[in-house]
Every structure is written in structure tokens, then in C-alpha cells.
Structure 1
Amino acid sequence: MTTPTDLDFRRAMSHFATGVAVVTTRSSAGEQGATISALTSVSLDPLLLLICLNRDSATYAAIAESGYFGLSVLNNSHKDVAMQFASRTADKFASDVIERSEDGTSFIKDALVQMHCEVVETFSGGTHALFMARPTSVKVQEDEAPLLYFQGKLGVEI
């Protein structure tokens, strides 16, 4: 083994297959959203999860301001949605794949999971922020395959 460079580290981590999700929120700057693959459960007592976002992103700033986010875990048919929310386009929400909950939180239609989360703590991790959050509502759809991310590719078959 050798001391890793940032390129070595990125390549090594690309071998860890992950699910893909979209996080959304609303702040004084309007609706913001981003595609993420850094998501994990933390605790069952209390219920906690963790997401990671680049601190330079508009979505990071919006979640830091609002204190909440909508989380949509994407199914295998959502590759275009993942790319849409990974882009820097201003009209991410001008789409028929968006649905809103009673409180106005945006979610992706037909996502495997739709979860409303309240931020309880924020940590700094280099270029990224880690938001620890408590889910306040959840909806699960059981009958679809997940969208996976592996070696820089979306939609890897399992």
C-alpha cells in the first residue's frame, strides 16, 4: 500500500456502491436541491441519519438556513432525475417528477423513500458539511429496485 493522493482516494471510494438520493429544501433564496450518495443511518434511538453536502453548494446554504430537508431515495428509473439535481441548472423544480407534501416540502414522485428531516446538528468535514437529522415523517415504496452509483456510473444493475 502507498499513501493515497486525492485521485487514489476518489478511485478507491468509487468501488463502494451506494444508493442515490435527492435532498430538497426551501430558504430565502427559494427552492434548492441536490443529488447525493453520502447518506447513512446513524441511530434508532433516537432516530437519526446523516447526509453530506459540499459547503460551496446552494443546497448546503439553504439547508443550513432552513434547518430541514426532504429526502427522496431514488429508484432505478430515476437516472435522469439524479442528473437533473446534480446539475447547476436553475429550473430543477420545473418538472413533473416533483410532488409536494402538505407543508410544501418537495419530493421526487415514485421515490423508494420520501422522508422529511429536521437538522439536529451540523459538522464540518473538509470541503463538506455533515448534517445529522431527525426524520419527522416517512413514506416507503417497496416494489422498485434502487438507483445505484458505482465507479462513477449511475444505474448499475445488482
Structure 2
Amino acid sequence: MRLPSDYGKEIVMTTPNETDFRKAMSHFATGVAVVTAKGSEGEQGATISALTSVSLDPLLLLICLNRASATYRAIAEAGVFGLSILGNDHKDVAMLFASRTADKFGSDVIERAADGTAFVRDSLVKMHCELVETFQGGTHALFMARPVSLELDENRAPLLYFQGQLGITL
């Protein structure tokens, strides 16, 4: 077996600061989703990349949102939310829901389930979720939720986020 020339080389690690940590985490390619909920401040929505499956038994997922956001407050109040996993043709939608634009729901990019929950039209996955538990993590909240219904479209590629860029093809 032939070993690489740098085999056994000592790794030199440093204590991360906010800038280094942000840059390091930007190297983790992730999908992009939109979450929506209706609270006392009205209908709210946000673009997220912090989404992961947690368990298959029971079915659980986890999303993270800034606690200062109106979407965080709406989900915390409502106890339910819509989750839309975006396709690679949804870059403009991701930017819309990442903005502070007041009317994110007036456009034709939104469609509604029978119960009124908002989802992004033509998203790869539409999932209605019920809040199970909330955890605090610094500036953010971690919402653990149970999917109660879903719809899949397996015919398109996902929208990816990598090194601060949307729509990257790896």
C-alpha cells in the first residue's frame, strides 16, 4: 500500500472565531427550503437551509430559525408549519422568502392546502408539520416537528446552497 506524501503530517487547528466558523460551515452544501406559518402577526415565511431528519421511529425532523424573526414567532404560536423543499428553479423564491418584503404570499409562487397552509408551488416536497418540541440554541430556536402529511415531486433537482451561493451545481 502506498501512503500519500503528507501521511502522518500534523494537523494544526486554531480556535474559531465567528468569521472562521461561518466560512467553515459554508463548505457544507445543503438543500434550501421555505417554512410558513400563520400567527398573531399574520402569515409569515422564511428561507432556511438548517433542516435535517432526526428519526424514522417516530418520524421527526428539525429546523432552525432566528428567534428574532416573525416566522419563529408564528411557528411557536401556531404549533404547525408548512415546509417546502425547493427545486433548482426556485432561486427567486428562496430570495423572496429570505428578504424582509412584506407581501411574500401575494404572488403566484404560493399554493394552499385544504387547511390554508401555504406551500411553494412546484416545490420538490411539501410537508405539513406539527411542532413536538422547541430548544434554544444561542440566537436561534430548534424546532423538532412531526410530519403529518406530505407530497413528493421526484422529477427535478434540488436547489443547493454552498459557500454563500444559491443554485450551485456540484
TM score, norm. by length of structure 1 = 0.99
Partner SS, residue 122 of structure 1: strand
1:88 maps onto 2:100 in alignment: yes
Give the drift of 1:94.
1.1
Number of the residue aligned with 1:74: 86
Counterpart-to-counterpart distance in 1, 2:73 and 2:104: 17
Question: Which amino acid is 1:124 matched to?
Answer: Q
Number of the residue aligned with 1:17: 29
Alignment of 1:75-154 (within 5 A): 75-154=87-166
The root-mean-square deviation of aligned C-alpha atoms, in Å, is 0.4
Point out where structure 1 has 5 or more consecutive residues left out of the alignment.
none
**Count of residues in correspondence between the two structures:** 158
Question: Which amino acid is 1:104 matched to?
Answer: G
Point out where structure 2 has 5 or more consecutive residues left out of the alignment.
1-12
Counterpart-to-counterpart distance in 1, 2:100 and 2:109: 18
TM score, norm. by length of structure 2 = 0.92
Question: Which amino acid is 2:154 matched to?
Answer: E
Number of the residue aligned with 1:65: 77
Counterpart-to-counterpart distance in 2, 1:97 and 1:89: 14
Structure number with greater Rg is 2
Give the drift of 1:29.
1.1
Counterpart-to-counterpart distance in 1, 2:116 and 2:86: 20
Counterpart-to-counterpart distance in 2, 1:115 and 1:55: 22
1:55 maps onto 2:62 in alignment: no
Counterpart-to-counterpart distance in 2, 1:28 and 1:16: 35
Counterpart-to-counterpart distance in 2, 1:144 and 1:25: 26
Counterpart-to-counterpart distance in 2, 1:138 and 1:15: 30
